[in-house]
Chain A
């Protein structure tokens, strides 16, 4: 049995930036596609602004381990200031993928991280300010995940976003969230 029967995701963010919600949204969509799922944050002292990680696992078979994700298939970095501050590529193999919310180029990130695998960038902050009027990059970055891995279908994410936001923020703002995911999906490079 290879360990990679399970697709593993690690998300880096800061407390309060919605990394936990992002991992939850990803696995909720995966569950709707009939997958076995797991999402959990690495709880530290739970301070706003402190670097934190969340994990997600997606598989066709039941997931029994509770080990933190040590060798992710993909790492999503919600806050670009974390690059260089925490080891965002830890455990990421040569075939791994790094996605960063940034306006910097992939070459600059390669220099900063020393990572030789695939690096993608998306300006999730810019997209979110543009479409949502706020800096909420955690939802749009899921669009980038979908584009570069295809691990979940955007249709299921849209449905979950509707379920999550429609009652709370209304039709218009919910649609803006969906548009942000789609734009990040199209603009990731």
Chain B
């Protein structure tokens, strides 16, 4: 455990409020957002901060999420530190410009309160929104608690703006679960956090009139491919910068910012791999089953894009059986996180057993009894290449 040097105070806050607090401390130059449903209270709270003069951010209230992301792209290209927030249908509507933001290498930071994509109409939690956007070139960080979401907003700003990266970042929390649950959240002092994020010093900016550049030019068969390859190069540099910036943040908070978190993994025979709030519920079950002498562990993926294949494979190398719990589906294909874990395990000579479980779509509760059931199946070696579901009406679990 590293000694934390940042002063802080503990408040009872929701995930959304904690993220808005991070944005207040960062004081971005521009926040462009669509102000009504499906917007989150992140933007509502931040708008109050802006109105009360607690930040000097230029708030741009736009008529749709498509426009929100368009305004963000413009602001980021001008050289402004730029943020927005969205979820669900909002992310779906901004889709075209989400790809533009990464293609133009805009260091935009966007908190996402993960929620289902209609139809049927649903406003509750699953990961269909951001997982659906996983191939659009954004860095994606998934958070378990309000505390972690708050802290990772700062990390995301430094990561996005790093000169070797210049890519947008989604900071994801579970909608209506982490986003609306009041928890103990330590807010660090403004000065420390402002110093940590520092000033945005873009190497190229439209408003740098002495060094004119072209942004958004057409590239057909001649150069498009090379530009996309450069995006891949930037993504491959993310892990190193992520750990470096994470270490700096650790010095302030005492918390860990690895690609993933290992919980009681040392001698674990049965392992659950999952993301976000489901890991909290899983952790409670691990504690209870460990007290009964069961060798169970948890691997919580924090960095989903870029995906840390080699490190994950190493972390799972001692496990006998691994269950992957996905909160979204890829219809007609392997569940998204399960697929990544399978990719990670392929090069290994001795592979653990692997089983896919899907849970929690549209806000369906994940119960501790579901998690316990999964561990019991893994301890009994019940793995298959079929899909299993937790908490589904037609299933017994």
Contacts and interface: CB of A to CB of B under 8 A. Distances in A.
B366 interface: yes
Interface residues of A, number: 22
Contacts, number: 64
A56 B325 CA distance: 26
B334 interface: no
B184 interface: yes
B365 A68 contact: yes
Given A67-B366, A68-B365, A27 B280 contact: no
Contact of B176 (A1, A38, A43, A63): A43
B354 to A, nearest CB: 25
A31 B291 contact: no
The secondary-structure label for the interface of chain B is: mixed
A37 B10 CA distance: 11
A23 B180 CA distance: 13
Interface string A33-71: 000111111010000000000000000001111111010
Given A37-B12, A43-B124, A67 B182 contact: no
A64 B177 contact: no
B368 interface: yes
B183 A38 contact: yes
B12 A66 contact: no
B277 interface: yes
A24 interface: yes
A73 interface: no
A8 interface: no
A67 B180 contact: no
A67 B184 contact: no
B184 A31 contact: yes
A123 interface: no
Given A1-B288, A31-B12, A64-B281, A41 B368 contact: no
A31 B177 CA distance: 20
Nearest to B363: A43
Interface in B176-212: 176-178, 180-184
B372 to A, nearest CB: 11
B43 to A, nearest CB: 19
Nearest to B174: A66
Given A24-B182, A36-B184, A67 B281 contact: yes
A78 B278 CA distance: 30
B366 A66 contact: yes
B127 interface: no
A40 B182 contact: yes
B262 interface: no
Given A1-B287, A27-B12, A38 B181 contact: yes
A24 B12 contact: yes
A79 interface: no
B181 A65 contact: no
A40 B180 contact: yes
A39 B181 CA distance: 6
B299 to A, nearest CB: 15
B281 A66 contact: yes
Contacts of A158: none
Contacts of B176: 43
A105 B291 CA distance: 44
Given A1-B287, A38-B183, A28 B12 contact: yes
A43 B182 contact: no
B182 A38 contact: yes
Interface of A: 1, 3, 23-24, 27-28, 31, 36-41, 43, 62-68, 70
Interface of B: 10-12, 123-124, 174, 176-178, 180-184, 277-278, 280-281, 283-284, 287-288, 291, 363, 365-368
Given A1-B291, A66-B366, 15 more contacts: A24-B12, A24-B182, A28-B182, A36-B184, A37-B12, A37-B182, A40-B180, A40-B182, A62-B184, A64-B280, A64-B283, A64-B284, A65-B283, A66-B174, A68-B365
28 contacts: A3-B288, A24-B12, A27-B182, A28-B12, A36-B184, A37-B12, A37-B182, A37-B183, A37-B184, A38-B182, A40-B180, A40-B181, A41-B180, A43-B176, A62-B184, A64-B280, A64-B283, A65-B280, A65-B281, A65-B368, A66-B181, A66-B277, A66-B278, A66-B281, A67-B284, A67-B365, A68-B365, A70-B367
Q: 10 smallest A-B Cβ distances: which pairs? A: A65-B284, A40-B181, A64-B280, A39-B182, A64-B283, A66-B277, A31-B12, A28-B12, A65-B281, A1-B291
